[in-house]
Amino acid sequence: MISRKKMLKILAGFPLFGGIAAAKIGDADAQTASTSSVSAVAERDLFEELGIETLINGRGTLTFLSGSLMQPEVVKAIKSTSDEFANLYEVQDKVGRRIAELLNCEAAMVTSGAAGALTLGTAATITGTDEEKIKKLPNLPGPRREVIIQKRHRYSYDHAVRNTGIRMVEVESAAEMEEAINDRTVMSLFFNAAAQFGGFEHSIGHEEFVAISRKHDIPSFIDAAADVPPPENLFKYIEIGFDLVTFSGGKAIRGPQSAGLLYGRNDLIEAAKLNHNPHSNSIGRGMKVNKEEIFGMMVALESYLERDHEQQWEEWVGWTETIAEEAETLPSVSGELKVNEGPANHFPDLQLSWDQSQVGISPEEVVKKLKEGKPRIEISSNDEGLYITVVMMKPEQVDIVARRIREVLEQAV
């Protein structure tokens, strides 16, 4: 028979199992084994171990590219809160109070991203504090509840609102909105970046949308998930009068990628919390946020509000210049600073263009070569050439991106 000691030794030899087995068995030997394998985790390259190639992100805060990198102080907050227990209701309440103070609003909570906030905020407007309704959601007896939205504001994330069982009612003017509101209406939803992505003006502007909702006593909710910088936007929509606001935590705020902010009216935030983890019989139970990320979100917000945003902007502009200047050493290549006016992804980006009779490669081919090269670099292309978002790069990656783009273009000269 293999002795327990020997077994531990064998298991400890497997990096994946050493820590787990040792921790379960739990004698003096196990303690040693556990400590050593845990410290070994810090030295392991887990990406490498599983053959996952990391990448340089030149496309922005896209979820499929893992969004953003947490600020170092966020990682510290996560680490510093991870080895004690706390009551999760208390953590959410007290962190929420701090966030509400920071954002000059009545109440706030940390959600599982802006998408989680959309579901919980909607649930709150349907159920209030009614326990029976909370338990039954999304299958409430009676007619389906309705959410009013401008027709051109329909978007993929409204799925997170529809999760609650509501029906979307589309309107195209203030008059239509007035007419559409009835006993079944629970909420109005405004997608802040709709006009930017759709290339139109909102047919009902922010103020009018809020005024109509108020007049009929319907809570209004604005999705501004990707709409910082500028940091002032975190305050703007509460000032306009929206009852609920959401921002992603894991985009430009650089909090935990799985966290987000929901804030606004106190009664609605209280109702949203009742629809959330740790209440097991609730629509939000699967949208759990652990205490570490709740704290991490709070620290990310503090840090974001304290940051010198002008200096940050200048640094980003400098990065676009570094990349442009190196590429411009080649014939016909020219770089242009493109400020994305937002409200979503309001960043200084770089457009690189060239004459393909002088540099014989298409933008799509350059994108492909960069993705397949070492290190792997992700950027976008458009009709005019390469479109590069620098804001999610690490400072030391800027020169690498500049060099790789120059190399790929140079091969085609």
Ligand X SMILES: *Cc1c(COP(=O)(O)O)cnc(C)c1O
The residue among 234, 195, 226, 261 whose CA lies nearest residue 392 is 226
The residue among 234, 320, 284 whose CA lies nearest residue 112 is 284
Residue 34 or 111: the one with the smaller Cβ distance to ligand X is 111
Residues 6+ apart with CB under 8 A from 183: none
Minimum CB distance to ligand X, residue 391 (Å): 15
DSSP E strand boundaries for 89-235:
107-111, 146-150, 167-171, 185-191, 220-223
Q: Which part of the chain contacts ligand X (CB under 6 A), choosing from 90-98, 218-226, 297-305, 399-407?
A: 218-226
Residue 153 or 369: the one with the smaller Cβ distance to ligand X is 153
Q: Which residues pair with 56 in a beta bridge?
A: 377
- Is residue 278 within 8 Å of residue 89, measured between CB atoms? yes
The only residue of 55, 106, 133, 157 in contact with ligand X, by rule CB under 6 A = 157
Residue 194, interface with ligand X (CB under 6 A)?
no
The only residue of 115, 126, 187, 287 in contact with ligand X, by rule CB under 6 A = 115
Residue 226, interface with ligand X (CB under 6 A)?
yes
Q: Which part of the chain contacts ligand X (CB under 6 A), choosing from 112-120, 136-144, 228-236, 281-289?
A: 112-120
Q: Which part of the chain contacts ligand X (CB under 6 A), choosing from 110-118, 233-241, 330-338, 361-369?
A: 110-118
Minimum CB distance to ligand X, residue 290 (Å): 16
Total binding residues for ligand X by CB under 6 A? 13
Among the residues of 26-87, which ranges form H helices?
Answer: 28-43, 46-49, 72-80
Phi, psi for 360 (deg, rounded to 5): -85, 65
Positions 345 through 374 that interact with ligand X (CB under 6 A): none
Residue 392, interface with ligand X (CB under 6 A)?
no
* Per-residue b or e along 346-363, where b marks 16 or more CB atoms closer than 10 Å to that residue's CB: bbbbbbbbbeeeebebeb
Minimum CB distance to ligand X, residue 236 (Å): 16
Residue 225, interface with ligand X (CB under 6 A)?
yes
Residue 96, interface with ligand X (CB under 6 A)?
no
| Closest residue to ligand X: CB criterion | 113
Residue 63, interface with ligand X (CB under 6 A)?
yes
Residue 276 or 369: the one with the smaller Cβ distance to ligand X is 276
Q: Which residues pair with 264 in a beta bridge?
A: 107, 244
Dihedral sign for Cα atoms in the order 288, 292, 295, 301: negative
In angstroms, the CA 186 to CA 163 distance is 14
Residue 193, interface with ligand X (CB under 6 A)?
yes
How many other C-beta atoms lie within 10 A of the C-beta of residue 85? 6
Residue 255, interface with ligand X (CB under 6 A)?
no
Q: Which residues bind ligand X (CB under 6 A)?
A: 63, 113-115, 157, 193, 223, 225-226, 248, 250, 260, 344
